[in-house]
Amino acid sequence: MSRIFAHSPLDFRAMSPAIKFLIAANAAAFLLAQLAPTQFFDLFGLVPVHVWRDRWVWQPVTYLFLHGNFLHLLLNIFSLWIFALPVEAEWGPREFLKYYFLCGIGAGLLSLALSPQSAVPIIGASGAVYGLLVAFAMLYPDAVVYLYFLFPVKAKHMAILFGLLEFFGGAAGSAPGIARFAHLGGMAIGYLYIRWWWIAGIQAKGLWHSLTRREGHTRARRAERPERGAPAQADAMEELDRILDKISAHGRGSLSPEELELLRKHSQRRTEGHA
């Protein structure tokens, strides 16, 4: 089943609070940087040598909100608007913000590991934005995006294309002012988080709920079983156990008319017994 996404004109009021916060924080940091002295980027950008030598541990977070010029800011805000809206709507604000900062901070830490002696500030939310691109592509792989507003391409193919461009651009050393491996880091962390950690967490929660629900059913059924005698009633309870197990495994719609009738009669007897 295909899914259609459409964006109304960029309307700040229509955005969720989480996306409003990110856009407002990026815009405010950009304005502040224009008024601050030139040391502002050294202090709040990501400078590996300062993090390792001077323990400026805030930089892997603050660098996400700084941008070198208005076009850099505009491109990241536009990408945030495009990819964050459907991802945040799917996951909710809490999971969305956790993922955003995981990709952004993780991309910064990867840059620290690769260039520990660098004194060049790394700035921008691109690592987090590239992580959102991966999330969008994994959630809606066949969604069509118009690359550069002209070329229709599926989201999964766009994510692969961007990843290859960043990899080969970083390996060739092209455009040294662009932190390409930070972009790749955001993509890799996002993919690993969704592919392994996030899905494994959902499966673990589902298994836990299934086990606790089954344990609750077992306790309730044991409480209803007679200790001695009444073989016909014991057989009925065993049949009820089987029906409840079937509902747990396949849902209520899997029951036959006879099984539904037995379940209805049991519920009616319990209601009369408690009346």
pLDDT in tens, 130-184: 999 999 998 888 888 877 667 788 888 888 888 777 766 554 444 444 566 788 8
Q: Judging by beta carbons within 10 Å of its beta carbon (0-12, 13-18, 19+), is residue 12 exposed, middle or buried?
A: exposed
Count Cα neighbours of 259 within 13 Å in the Cβ-side half-sphere: 16
Higher-confidence residue of 88 and 13: namely 88
pLDDT in tens, 240-267: 667 766 655 555 556 677 776 776 666 5
- How far, in Å, are 142, 174, 262 from residue 71 at the CA level? 29, 20, 68
The DSSP bridge partners found for residue 186 are none
List the single range of 119-128, 170-179, 194-203 with lowest mean pLDDT: 170-179
Q: Which fold, 12-202?
A: Rhomboid-like fold (1.20.1540)
Confidence band (pLDDT; 50, 70, 90) for 36?
A: confident
User: Which phi and psi angles does 158 have, rounded to 5°?
Assistant: -65, -40
User: Residue 89 CA to chain centroid, in angstroms?
Assistant: 10
Rounded distance between C-alpha atoms, residue 257 and residue 136, angstroms: 43
Confidence band (pLDDT; 50, 70, 90) for 224?
A: low
Q: Give pTM, 2 decimals.
A: 0.69
The DSSP bridge partners found for residue 154 are 144
Please choose, from the candidates 51, 72, 69, the residue with its C-alpha nearest in 3D space to the C-alpha of residue 60: 51
46: CB partners within 8 A, 6+ apart: 59, 60, 63, 108, 111, 112, 121, 122, 123
Domain boundaries, the chain: 12-202, 225-274
For 146, the enclosing helix (H) or strand (E) is strand 144-147
- Return the ∠ at Cα 96 (arms to 93 and 100), rounded to 5°: 135
**Contact yes or no for 155/140 (Cβ under 8 A):** yes
**Contact yes or no for 100/131 (Cβ under 8 A):** yes
The DSSP 8-state label assigned to residue 121 in this structure reads: P
Tokens of 240: 């009820």
Q: In the prediction, which pLDDT does 235 show?
A: 65
Tokens of 97: 């913000």
List the single range of 41-50, 79-88, 99-108, 212-221 with lowest mean pLDDT: 212-221
